[in-house]
Amino acid sequence: MFGWDCEKKRLECGYKNEYSWWNTGFEQTDEHPVVCVSWNDAVAFCDWLSKKESKTYRLPTEAEWEYACRAGTTTRYYNGDDPEALANVANVADATYKAKVPNAASWGIKASDGYAFTSPVGRFKPNAFGLYDMHGNAIQWCADSFGDNYYEKSGVEDPEGPGFGSCRVCRGSCWDSGIVDARVARRYSWFSPDNGQGNDVGFRVARTQ
């Protein structure tokens, strides 16, 4: 696995192999989202949690994730189309991040959300479904393999994604995402299931029973 090296003294970012979910390259507590985890790690956690609680947990499908993020909206972000308003609902690349990593934040918003890297979960306003951090903080693994044109042919009710493919889908955005990557519709498609992908990628779980 690897992560972004965001040491303050260097004022730059780059990948380093030494990072993992317990050593992300910046301060984390139990209140922060787990990052530096692979799709395989996330699925294994869901299996463990299912056995522990005698309920069924899994990763959400890509369609479920977008439905949950949009929460009935049709705008660029679930709180509207203004990227500067993201500071109210999301931990994305912003003025705080730019102060830490000035050479890497030209794509961020001008407003400040108060966090350069990950923030504790639930510090920003939730969407209309009461869900926190659907934008920002950590990109999230989905259950699906990636299908470029899958939704042009799939049904509209609960599509589960293609049953084949070497890459898994990630959705959402993270603490170093710009205004384009923070859109609800943004898809990440190049992630292999065994790769930790860095300390801007995590996951959330869905309970089916």
CB distance 188 to 171 below 8 Å: yes
Instruction: Give Cβ neighbours of residue 33 (< 8 Å, ≥ 6 apart).
Output: 118, 121, 133, 137, 138, 202
Handedness of CA 185, 137, 43, 190 (dihedral sign): positive
pLDDT tens digits, 165-207: 778 999 999 999 999 999 999 998 877 888 765 889 999 999 9
Q: What is the CATH number of the domain that holds 2?
A: 3.90.1580.10
Q: How confident is the model at residue 9 (pLDDT cuts 50, 70, 90)?
A: very low
* Whole-number Å distance between alpha carbons of 140 and 171: 5
**How many structural domains compose the chain?**
1
DSSP H or E segment with residue 127: none
157 pLDDT above the threshold of 80:
no
pLDDT tens digits, 88-117: 999 999 999 988 887 766 788 999 999 999
pLDDT tens digits, 12-54: 444 456 677 878 888 899 999 999 899 999 999 999 999 999 9
Instruction: Give Cβ neighbours of residue 155 (< 8 Å, ≥ 6 apart).
Output: none
Lowest mean pLDDT among 42-46, 73-77, 127-131, 187-191: 187-191
Place of tokens 């108060």: 114
Query: What is the residue range of 104's domain?
Result: 1-209
Q: What pLDDT is recorded for position 3?
A: 41
More confident residue, 191 or 58: 58
Q: What pLDDT is recorded for position 101?
A: 82
The pTM for the full model equals 0.86
